[in-house]
Amino acid sequence: MSTQPERAQRRAAEPRDPSLSTIMGERRQLLNLAYRLLGSLADAEDAVQETYTRWYAMSRAEQEAIESPGAWLTKVAGRICLNLLGSARARRESYVGEWVPEPLPDAAEWIAGAAGGAGVDPADRITLDESVTMAFLVVFESMTPAERVAFVLHDVFRYPFAEVAEIVGRSPAACRQLASSARRRVAAARAAGSPNADRQARVVRRFKAAWEAQDIDALIGLLDPRATAISDGGGRAIAHPLPLEGAEQIARLYLTIARFPAPRTILERTVNGLPGLVIESGGRIETVFAFQVADDDRITHIWAVRNPDKLRPWHPS
């Protein structure tokens, strides 16, 4: 992600007569922004596509009159995402079971089998950093649409509040308050455990070993007593309809999964930039697991995504 000075330099260098390469060069930035705002790669792609549709719907004279095409594209994409966030809340009320943000694989796997299948342009990858860990995306879901847009644009992408205000449709002071409110939610999430890939890899590896050994005592010992497990099947795959709470209840469910008769393999994979697990069956990824690990090496949250619509980046075309 670019810093404010870098973006300012880029804008200053933009020609008034933008070429196709200049406009399309913004695509990765827009996709990164939209995914963080929407928590869905499919929705992010649609938002970016709509942004470009609006650009090319303008006349050449209208395009040339825009001083900074990159800023214009970002503003339009932000507004589209803001509108989608409002409608998404209504859609998720009718969603079957629990809704979990769409998980993303490691960059190398993304190149091999991303949204469009093999051969996808690496420039379209999502930058995997703290702001796209599953724990943070879930926190974003707890924010109002305006809070989420203000926080992501300002704190993640470093847009000044004056520009954020144009997108959100509120004053810079109001956007500052929105971001401050969102920041408190994020701080609370960080207090539950700061992302640490090395620590999480060790814990997840031990969880995998205990799971494969069907060792319930070991599983319980790796889980925080108040741990929560959420499964998202979206009505397309079998999933627990409600969150599970408590180490023993979660451990017993995972033992049940381990005893399923069909041949399945549990593999270590990077999920949204942090160590996670997947279940592979018949050469296909059928479940992706993301974890949150506290500073005491206990697992506090498990998110299992089974809805095949959300697993497109994990499969070749």
Region 20-38: what's the mean pLDDT?
90
| Angle 218-224-241 from CA coordinates, rounded to 5° | 95
Which range in 57-66, 255-264, 308-317 is most confidently predicted, on average pLDDT?
A: 57-66
Confidence (pLDDT) at 317: 54
Written as one letter, the residue type at 150 is: A
Confidence (pLDDT) at 291: 97
The tens digit of pLDDT for each residue in 41-75 reads: 999 999 999 999 999 999 999 999 999 999 999 99
Region 78-94: what's the mean pLDDT?
87
pLDDT of 161 strictly over 70: yes
Confidence (pLDDT) at 268: 96
Residue 52: its H or E element: helix 41-57
The tens digit of pLDDT for each residue in 104-145 reads: 998 776 544 444 444 445 456 788 888 999 999 999 999 999
Each as own residue / partner, the long-range contacts of residues 41-44 (CB below 8 Å, 24 or more positions apart, any chain) are: 41/102, 41/104, 41/115, 41/126, 41/312, 41/313, 42/102, 42/115, 42/309, 42/312, 43/84, 43/88
Confidence (pLDDT) at 184: 93
Confidence (pLDDT) at 7: 53
Taking the alpha carbons at both ends of the chain, their separation in whole angstroms is 28
Please name each of the domains of the chain with its CATH number.
4-101+143-187 (1.20.140.160), 197-314 (3.10.450.50)
49 DSSP 8-state letter: H
DSSP letters for 108-166 = HHHHHHBTTBTT--GGGPPP-SGGGSHHHHHHHHTS-HHHHHHHIIIIIT---HHHHHH
Predicted confidence band at 2 (pLDDT cuts at 50, 70, 90)?
A: very low
Confidence (pLDDT) at 15: 45
Predicted confidence band at 170 (pLDDT cuts at 50, 70, 90)?
A: very high
**Residue 268: beta bridge partners?**
277
Give pTM, 2 decimals: 0.86
Question: Whole-angstrom Cα distance, residue 254 to residue 257?
Answer: 5
Going across the sheet that includes 265-271, the strands are 244-245, 223-232, 299-305, 284-293, 274-281, 265-271
Confidence (pLDDT) at 299: 97
pLDDT of 253 strictly over 70: yes
Average pLDDT of the chain, as a whole number: 88
Confidence (pLDDT) at 169: 95
The tens digit of pLDDT for each residue in 272-309 reads: 999 999 999 988 999 999 999 999 999 999 999 999 99
